[in-house]
Amino acid sequence: MTTAWLDAAAADGLRAALRNKTVERSRPAEAGIAASVGSGPAYALVLAGVSLAFGGVSALDGISLTVRRGEICSIIGPNGAGKSSLINVVSGLYAADRGTINLLGKRVDKVRASHLARLGVARTFQNLALFGGLSVRDNVASGLVHKRRSNVFSQVLGLPGTAAENRRIRERAAETIDFLGLSAHGDQLVATLPYGLQKRVELARALVADPALLLLDEPMAGMTATEKSEMAGFVRAARAHHDLTVVLIEHDIGVVMGLSDHVVVLDYGRKIADGTPAAVRADPAVIRAYIGSTDGVGGEGI
């Protein structure tokens, strides 16, 4: 699956631009991460000193972190640690009070949610954010809405360009629906699907635009163990098929450790650990944050 089906030239141009100018400039202060191989920027996401407060309550306190391209990075932490706030800042739903954000090699002072898709960033939401009145097919196709060029008149009058555009988008959506094993449900209204499938539709809507960075806010919340491992399989497969970086929030430590290349731990809006799953798991600060003592944290579902 490639981006060739629509404005491939534009995508190539963007990639080339990113490759040329940003790798050096955006190299983060934190050392210890080997430079990425291949084309494009080495880092999909770099935050430096990002802070966010609601009134007097600090949600994020000077968060700096670096997500390498192609990596699956999990953000974990107790409830209220600031995980969702972090994703919301990166996707432009909240504006950070301080700090800088570098998205896909591009320094953005304030991310604008309405431009997110065009930047190559897609996200899902903690509580399902699907369009209940649309079919699975239309929900997934809506992830490509930013690629449409036709206007309402040509759509209603059925002018030639529109049909071709509709066909391309329908085909691309069908590919993604297939990829996520949703083909049997294409015409169903999304509101009638069980919860686990709805979560999958939301992932499909995010993946359909072939994003470079995928933000998943608790993609496995409320799922059974089987559904979780299925979902983890889809995330892994998506990364393998696309040139994709994934940042996800997850509570299930077992899933996180198995899926991630990189784990960031937040507590009370501060970053308390950052590293490989094994390193984070052994970190005394993490253990303290989770259970208040240094007795093991091997179990699931913390």
CB atoms within 10 A of CB 30: 12
CB atoms within 10 A of CB 152: 7
CB of 139 to another protein, least distance (A): 9
Q: Is 188 in the site for another protein (CB under 8 A)?
A: no
Residue closer to another protein (CB basis): 41 or 143: 143
CB of 259 to another protein, least distance (A): 23
Residue closer to another protein (CB basis): 8 or 164: 164
Q: Is 114 in the site for another protein (CB under 8 A)?
A: yes
Q: Is 95 in the site for another protein (CB under 8 A)?
A: no
Euclidean distance between the first and final Cα of the chain, in Å?
A: 36
Contact criterion met (CB below 8 Å) for 220 and 200: no
Residue closer to another protein (CB basis): 72 or 87: 87
Q: Which stretch binds another protein (CB under 8 A): 8-16, 35-43, 164-172, 265-273?
A: 164-172
Q: Which stretch binds another protein (CB under 8 A): 8-16, 22-30, 34-42, 127-135?
A: 127-135
CB of 156 to another protein, least distance (A): 5
Q: How far apart, in Å, are the Cα atoms of 55 and each of 52, 165, 225, 280?
A: 10, 46, 38, 32
Report the residue from 19, 27, 170, 236 that binds another protein according to the rule CB under 8 A: 170
Contact criterion met (CB below 8 Å) for 59 and 232: no
Distance CA 210, CA 243 (A): 8
Distance CA 42, CA 65 (A): 14
Q: Which stretch binds another protein (CB under 8 A): 41-49, 51-59, 67-75, 154-162?
A: 154-162
* Residue where the block lists tokens 């209603």: 156
Report the residue from 117, 216, 235, 255 that binds another protein according to the rule CB under 8 A: 117
Q: Is 146 in the site for another protein (CB under 8 A)?
A: yes
183-187 own/partner pairs: CB under 8 Å, 24+ apart: 185/136, 186/135, 186/136, 186/137, 187/135, 187/136, 187/137
CB of 84 to another protein, least distance (A): 13
SS3 of the chain: helix, strand, coil, percent, to 5: 40, 20, 35
Distance CA 287, CA 270 (A): 15
Report the residue from 7, 54, 132, 293 that binds another protein according to the rule CB under 8 A: 132
Distance CA 15, CA 39 (A): 8
Beta bridge partner(s), residue 46: 66, 102
Residue closer to another protein (CB basis): 158 or 299: 158
Contact criterion met (CB below 8 Å) for 186 and 208: no
* Residue where the block lists tokens 């995330």: 235
Q: Which stretch binds another protein (CB under 8 A): 62-70, 151-159, 230-238, 276-284?
A: 151-159
Q: Is 159 in the site for another protein (CB under 8 A)?
A: no
Q: Is 123 in the site for another protein (CB under 8 A)?
A: yes
Q: Is 205 in the site for another protein (CB under 8 A)?
A: yes
Binding region for another protein (CB under 8 A): 91-93, 113-114, 116-118, 122-123, 125, 129-134, 138, 141-143, 145-146, 148, 150-152, 155-156, 158, 163, 166-167, 169-170, 205, 209
